[in-house]
Amino acid sequence: MRTHYCTDLNENNVGEDVTLAGWVNSYRDHGGVIFIDLRDKTGLIQLVCDPADNEQAHKVASQVRDEFVLIAKGKVRKRGEGLENPRLKTGKIEIVIDELTIENRSEPMPFTLGDENVGEDIRLKYRYLDLRQKEMFETFQLRSKAAIAARNLLDSLGFLEVETPILTKSTPEGARDYLVPSRVHNGEFYALPQSPQLFKQLLMVSGFDRYFQIAKCFRDEDLRADRQPEFTQIDVEMSFCTQEDVMKVAEDLLKAMFGACGYEIKTPFNRITYRDSMEKYGNDRPDLRFGLELVDVIDLFENCDSPIFAEIAQYKKLNRIKALKVPGGDKAFSRKIIKELESFVSKFGAKGLAYIQVKEDGLKGPILKFLSEEAIETMKSRLEMEVGDIVFFGAGNKKTVLDYMGRLRTEVAKRMNLIDENRLEFVWVVDFPMFEVEDGEVKALHHPFTMPKNIDEDDVEEIDSIAYDVVLNGIELGGGSIRIHKLDIQRKVFEMLGIDEEEANEKFGFLLDALKFGAPPHGGFALGFDRLMMLLTKKESIRDVIAFPKTQSATCLLTQAPSQVDEAQLKELGIRIRKQPKTDAAQ
Amino acid sequence: MRTHYCTDLNENNVGEDVTLAGWVNSYRDHGGVIFIDLRDKTGLIQLVCDPADNEQAHKVASQVRDEFVLIAKGKVRKRGEGLENPRLKTGKIEIVIDELTIENRSEPMPFTLGDENVGEDIRLKYRYLDLRQKEMFETFQLRSKAAIAARNLLDSLGFLEVETPILTKSTPEGARDYLVPSRVHNGEFYALPQSPQLFKQLLMVSGFDRYFQIAKCFRDEDLRADRQPEFTQIDVEMSFCTQEDVMKVAEDLLKAMFGACGYEIKTPFNRITYRDSMEKYGNDRPDLRFGLELVDVIDLFENCDSPIFAEIAQYKKLNRIKALKVPGGDKAFSRKIIKELESFVSKFGAKGLAYIQVKEDGLKGPILKFLSEEAIETMKSRLEMEVGDIVFFGAGNKKTVLDYMGRLRTEVAKRMNLIDENRLEFVWVVDFPMFEVEDGEVKALHHPFTMPKNIDEDDVEEIDSIAYDVVLNGIELGGGSIRIHKLDIQRKVFEMLGIDEEEANEKFGFLLDALKFGAPPHGGFALGFDRLMMLLTKKESIRDVIAFPKTQSATCLLTQAPSQVDEAQLKELGIRIRKQPKTDAAQ
């Protein structure tokens, strides 16, 4: 119905007869001549309806309102001297209209497109209008381009995209499953997959060698800002591979996807061990766009005069005393700001926030009095203190200290404006522990199919796994591992996790069976595609990169899903709705 | 872990040191020398372990059994004179092993790969082993290639792939939905989509202009051989388009996908109207690899001497008398075969199967006696009868006659060996009726969003729609339509379908809303990807082109889904299982 998109046209087309189609972005009447900015997915162009040129078209134009759908035939004309619009790509030309058709009308819009004061609820209810914004379209254009780039890269490396089931059995990620009642087998349920983990491992047992899938995954969890009940992951698995092989594929993949979105990135990425990352940055997803590394100073407090610090310093495995030196921080941070930082860390379990200021006339700070001359001198040189710096201290239980000092590091970086928003700092975090122990319960840090390095180590917390995460600017993009391909190791891991043979057979029997029939060494990774797109398009919310997202209460405001269904449907499924409201007393 | 895949190697590599990895396809001991056929995804190669060359490797080789996983280092050697294996791509070389590692062992296989006598149940239970067959791998390799080709073609035409929700609201395809109980909103349910129909229309209202998605769709229907509870469709929608524009995209898409699988196809495809297809082939998915068109002869029976035929011939709108001439059929079909054909059509409602044989000495057949000389002469010339032909007749109710005569046509073609399995005969079926009337109830033949051509026509059965199906060799690959973009037409169609305003608003309120705010003209199509791959890989069953399919009772024999779940999970979801077994008395 059109000969061109709006911004296909430029001065080279002057004199040509064209047909355009799109929406009325705006219109105005200037001395009887009607000017319409017509919009399509490519952008805007100005239509001119002068009654002197064409009375009929002018008559139609006079009925036009915002968001009407038009088909416009006319001739491309150079705009008059001084009438050019440099803000428009097509600002040097306009279309003199011969024939104008209103293809469809529009009621007044329920909100103004792009108005930042409009609540998200109304935008989600009218999502199809919200998506009319240029920026929205460009976001989904990038998303499509990035997915195509990912697929072509993986295809070129010999990976096959294989679709795995959506109606399947509970998967072992440990989050809550979405269930689907079976009509044929009343009383039984399918589960929607939390990932294609087991299927991709089975495909390796099949000898498919290299698999990928851009896969929908589902978790029925309470939603945070960057979570959705359904999300998309780029899922990759390969056989006869080392950790290095897998990382190389992941790097090539990210390079291709970022490349498709206009970012050149350098590979290979830096690496850091899980333990180093925890000690230096307080977490396992370090933001390396800035320094501010945490420094261990527990040894300096060993025989100090503060009974509290001295006590903490006695247990070097359980506790930490960490210093965060902020260059120039003494000048930048007023007493008020320091109070705010103290209050910030207290939210994460800090009992206080000790600090030392490096003044022209020496160090100042209440904790100095507990330390020996020698300890102070060691600290000065270890931290390379300079006049104008401030050093914060966190002391106590290891987990708590690392957590709040890591958060303090980021908070300080924000306040000191140390974060270059245009930098892309990728890093691999490697050598994850295989297990974590919480309240005496042993859990898999990645998942129970991860290959341990030293399974026979006595201390379970010292068993490492061949697992790796890829982190960008402090955000985990994804991760993976080399998997267990030997039955005896898999059984041992289940045992250590307290999963007895019956439960293991019930839940993962088919995987255990598969390991009996010649499973090759294999490993892989998965990237969170939504989160990746969020970073690539610099969006605040994951909802901005999903065409039809759900709210934090897992509702679709557009379609009103979930909704009530007919009693007859429930009967067919062999289920009924519980009449009693849930109470805390319920199990 | 490997330097090459097995079939990467050929005579040019002789003398090179290589490392290969894969499975033991077979092994044999020839005078103390062990020969192993090693298999990877590319194919086979022969390993040689001679104790004279390497005692250690030979010792390992002696432990090897079928399907063990090996890593083999060695040197490429030309096979000796007369020892070449022309059936192997690598049949002119072999690998003399220096170092052999058993990476994993295998128990004896539960069935022999490729054994056609093995039941499908056991193959599905051990699907990961079933997929080890070369042919299986090649099927999924083609599937992956075809999907990539589809995406690249659509991307090159400016289509964006946009993901639409899986947890959504009931969609209007009319099949049974899979439901997902909501934990957050107890008593409410999501539905899995039967297609992304409404979302893709909304994306057109958003101005996305060109959308596609290779989308998972779900229908909780009783399964036939070529159906699965979840299936994949290539879903396309575009704005400001005519039927011609959409068909062109579909043809280009099929050309690209068939091209990726090694088939060159010619576009544009032939076209036939729905009504012509029904009259000539008895159905709306004609197999055009052979002729045997049905010919209308009702007029010739108008005043015949058979009261039954004469009665039928009186009602030309309701009834049909169809002739199927089979050239050479009189010679080919014995009395026994004719009986079989009669019995065949009787399963589809035929009360008998009249026929005329064209013998050297004239026509023979019981119905000749009812016809006038003139009618017989007209029939002879209309059907271009020749000696050796047989002509079958179907008479009665239009729907029944067209159905069984269409089936007879195909049955006869099979028996006469008229079907060239290597031909690809695409055809567009166009001008579908908008509605069909069944037991007085008006239903949409495509779906209620299809644009009618002549909505104001009095006889609803005479209202055509702008809908089209693409058919290959008698199988519907997919179809589509131009959609309704005007609110008043959409409301009128709902009204004609007996959907009152309340129900329309409840089910499709968001679409009706969207039509108020500047919906552009739009249309699209969807292709069944599984069925397409079935045709492209010449498989009998849709289960052969789905990596982890379900049985006809919608069970996954591999994972045992669906399965029972914990009572606690049901409590959280606010549902319980009905205790009473379903009875026929239940509604």
Mean pLDDT, rounded, for B222-240: 90
Q: How far is Cα B173 from Cα B155, in angstroms, rounded to an integer? A: 28
User: Can you give the pLDDT at residue B397?
Assistant: 96
* Interface probe, candidates B101, B104, B532, B533, chain A, greatest A C-beta count within 10 A: B104
Q: What is the pLDDT of residue B586?
A: 42
Nearest to B510 among A198, A559, A576 (CB): A559
Polymer length of chain B: 587
Please tell me whether B120 is known to bind a ligand.
no
Confidence of residue B195 (pLDDT cuts 50, 70, 90): very high
CB–CB of A312/A395 below 8 Å? yes
Helix (H) or strand (E) holding B149: helix B134-156
At B585 the pLDDT is 46
Using CA atoms, how far apart are residues A533 and A260, in angstroms rounded to an integer?
A: 12
pLDDT of B369 reads 94
Structure tokens at B510: 């968001």
Q: How confident is the model at residue A586 (pLDDT cuts 50, 70, 90)?
A: very low
β-strands A390-397, B522-528 pairing: unpaired
Map tokens 């594929």 to a residue.
Answer: A249
A562 DSSP 8-state letter: S
Task: Please state, in angstroms and rounded to a whole number, the distance separating the CA atoms of residues A66 and B45.
Answer: 69
Check B168 against A559: CB less than 8 A apart.
yes
Chain-chain contact of B23 with A207 (C-beta, under 8 angstroms): yes
Q: In this model, does residue A222 exceed pLDDT 60? A: yes
A492-524: pLDDT as tens digits: 999 999 999 988 888 889 999 999 999 999 999
Contact A564 B189 (CB under 8 A): yes
Tell me if A127 and B568 make a contact (CB, 8 A cut-off).
no
B446 in a known ligand binding site: yes
Q: Once rounded to an integer, what is the mean pLDDT over residues A201-210? A: 98
Q: How far apart are CA B350 and CA B11, in angstroms?
A: 65
* pLDDT at res. A540: 87
Q: Is B56 annotated as a binding residue?
A: no
Q: What percent of chain A has pLDDT over 70?
A: 98
Nearest by CB to residue B179, choosing from A22, A107, A569, is A569
pLDDT band of residue A582 (cuts 50, 70, 90) is low
In degrees and rounded to multiples of 5, residue B232 shows phi and psi of -115, 130
pLDDT of residue B583: 53
Q: Which residues of A touch B104 (CB under 8 A)?
A: 485-486, 518-521
Q: Which residue has the higher pLDDT, B436 or B584?
A: B436
Where do we find the tokens 């106590």?
A: A396
Give how far Cα A240 sits from Cα of A484, A517, B568, Å: 12, 16, 41
Mean pLDDT, rounded, for A255-269? 97
What is the average pLDDT across A66-71?
A: 98
Which of A488, A559, A560 to substitute to test the interface with B, most B CBs within 10 Å? A559
Task: State the average pLDDT over residues B440-448.
Answer: 89
At residue A338 the predicted structure's pLDDT band, cuts being 50, 70 and 90, is: very high
Q: Which residues pair with B217 in a beta bridge?
A: B231
Chain B residues touching A218 at Cβ < 8 A:
166-167
Q: How many CA atoms lie within 13 A of A185 on its CB side?
A: 16
Per residue in A88-131, pLDDT tens? 999 999 999 999 999 999 999 999 988 889 999 999 999 999 99
**Residues of chain A found within 8 Å of residue B169, distances taken between Cβ atoms:** 556, 559-563
Number of Cβ atoms within 10 Å of the Cβ of A482: 23
Instruction: Check whether A224 has a pLDDT greater than 90.
Output: no
Q: Distance of CA B151 to CAs B159, B162, B240, B254, Å? A: 9, 12, 22, 11
Whole-Å CA distances, A104 to A96, A125, A422, B523? 21, 22, 43, 15
Are A121 and A557 in contact by the 8 Å Cβ rule? The answer is yes
- In the numeric block, the tokens 């979801």 are attached to B573
Task: Give the mean pLDDT of chain B.
Answer: 94
- pLDDT, average across residues B386-397: 97
Q: How many CB atoms lie within 10 A of CB A167?
A: 24
Any residues with CB less than 8 A from the CB of B116 and at least 6 apart, and which?
Answer: none
Chain A residue nearest residue B517, CA to CA:
A106
CA A66 to chain centre: 36
Instruction: Provide the token pair at A534.
Output: 């969020």
Tokens of A286: 């370090």
- Report DSSP letters for A239-308, one per residue: ES--HHHHHHHHHHHHHHHHHHTT----SSPEEEEHHHHHHHHSSSS--TTS---EEE-GGGGTT-S-HH
State the average pLDDT over residues A307-326. 96
Can you tell me the distance from the alpha carbon of B286 to that of B475, in angstroms, rounded to the nearest whole number?
8
Is B173 annotated in a binding site? The answer is: yes
Q: Answer yes or no: are the C-beta atoms of A389 and A381 closer than 8 Å.
A: no
Q: Report d(CA B558, CA A291) in Å as an integer.
A: 51
Q: For residues B5 and B12, what is the distance between their CA atoms, to the nearest angstrom? A: 15
Domains of chain A by start residue, with CATH = 6-104 (2.40.50.140), 137-271+436-545 (3.30.930.10), 290-419 (3.30.1360.30)
Residue A227: the pLDDT is 84
**Yes or no, beta carbons of A188 and B573 under 8 Å apart:** no
pLDDT(A366) > 80? yes
- H/E stretch holding B59: helix B55-61
pLDDT confidence of B171, banded at 50, 70, 90? low
User: Helices B134-156 and A134-156, interaxial angle, to 10°?
Assistant: 150
Does B449 have pLDDT greater than 70?
Answer: yes
Residue A585 has a pLDDT of: 46
CA-CA distances (angstroms) from residue B53 to B18, B32, B99? 16, 12, 11
The verdict on whether omega for the bond into residue B268 sits within 30 degrees of 0, i.e. cis, is yes
* pLDDT tens digits along A146-192: 999 999 999 999 999 999 999 999 766 678 999 999 999 999 999 99
Rounded Cα gap, residues A527 and A476, in angstroms? 9
B475 pLDDT higher than 80: yes
Report the pLDDT value the prediction gives residue B173, as an integer from 0 to 100. 60
Cβ neighbours of A403 (radius 10 Å): 19
From the list A445, A442, A408, the residue with the least C-alpha distance to A430 is A445
Other beta carbons within 10 angstroms of residue B587's beta carbon come to 6
Strand partners, B102: B70
Query: Do the annotations mark residue A301 as ligand-binding?
Result: no
Say yes or no for a CB contact (<8 Å) between B69 and A559.
Answer: no
Judged by CB atoms closer than 8 Å, whether chains meet at A571 and B553 is answered as no
DSSP secondary structure code for residue B136 in this structure? H
A528 is in an annotated binding site: yes
The answer on pLDDT for B587 being more than 60 is no
Amino acid (one-letter) located at A44: L
pLDDT in tens, A427-456: 999 999 999 988 889 999 888 999 999 988
User: How far apart are alpha carbons B196 and B233 in whole angstroms?
Assistant: 10
Residue from the list A160, A485, A555 with its beta carbon closest to the beta carbon of B140 = A160
- With beta carbons less than 8 A apart as the criterion, state whether A429 and A277 touch: yes
pLDDT at A584 (0 to 100): 52
